[in-house]
Amino acid sequence: MKIGRIMGVNIYLNPFFLALLGLFFVAGIMDKGLIAFGVVLAHEFAHAAMAKKLGVPVSDVELLPFGGVTRMGGDMPVRPDREMLIAAAGPFGNLILFMAGLAFKNHGVWDDNLGPFFLQSNMIIAAFNILPALPLDGGRVYRAFLAGKVGIKNATYRAAGLGQVWAVMIMLAGSAGLAMGRTGLDVLVTGLFLFYAATRERVSAPFLFMRQMMQKKEELLRSGVLPAEGLVAREDATLGEVVRLFLPQRFYFVAVYSGELEFKGVLSENKIIDALFAYGFDHRIGEINSL
């Protein structure tokens, strides 16, 4: 549900976040619900501010129970360096708000009921989001770190898998807490949504990989220079087997050999990606016409 627009960015409330606010209302603590709303909104706009500083366009912000999603255009998240900075901005923003809250307390500007909740909300959002699990901010930093070693697709699979594991742990803890009367439905709802969001991230991995391949060609045209690396492939290797070794910010040349190790020719990354789009992952590299 769209609720407004700030600094050219549309703001949406996810149904799960609405449900969380409803729980605050039913419990008679809507003032705390509004504080939680403000803390999450500030967290997301920290992401948006960093994105704009790096020249990454921001389309909208969706508020979720554990934080939110800042949707960006351009080359996100296929630029690991930028994704890492933008992801880290959210928890850092909450840390700044926490320190500001302490400063207000030390200067006597304080409410004994809402003040501690404000500090607690910022620390919970920051601590939860630094977990190395997609779609949390820590997961995005973890994926950005892994992407340069194993590629964006495998990095996404690993970080999203951790997200699913953490979600199951949170759901189990929430169910146990609910049964013992120690927690409310909010913990269980957060775990359910985290599992759903992590699964969505996992499904998106192949699409991110294809975006990264297209973006790399654009980056080469824009910058004029990229570091290059070489690979060797037998002619019966599939395009899928070859491109899974491609990493971001590097341009590849592949030397192709026959089964008897007779040199057949060299293919540039552009030729391989064009063939991938034309024929699919199972097409053999030795069948590319440019050889």
Q: What is the pLDDT of residue 77?
A: 54
What are the structure tokens assigned to 199, written together? 């699964």
Name residues of the chain where pLDDT drops below 70: 65-67, 73-78, 291
Relative orientation angle of helices 15-26 and 30-53, to the nearest 10 degrees? 150
Q: Where are the domains of the chain?
A: 2-211, 226-287
Catalytic residue among 44, 62, 83, 201: 44
- pLDDT tens-place string over residues 156-172: 999 999 999 999 999 99
Partner residues linked to 68 by β-bridges: 63
Instruction: Confirm whether 44 is a catalytic residue.
Output: yes
pLDDT of residue 41: 86
Convert the pLDDT of each residue in 178-225 to its tens digit: 888 887 777 887 888 889 889 989 998 888 887 777 777 777 777 777
Whole-number Å distance between alpha carbons of 26 and 247: 50
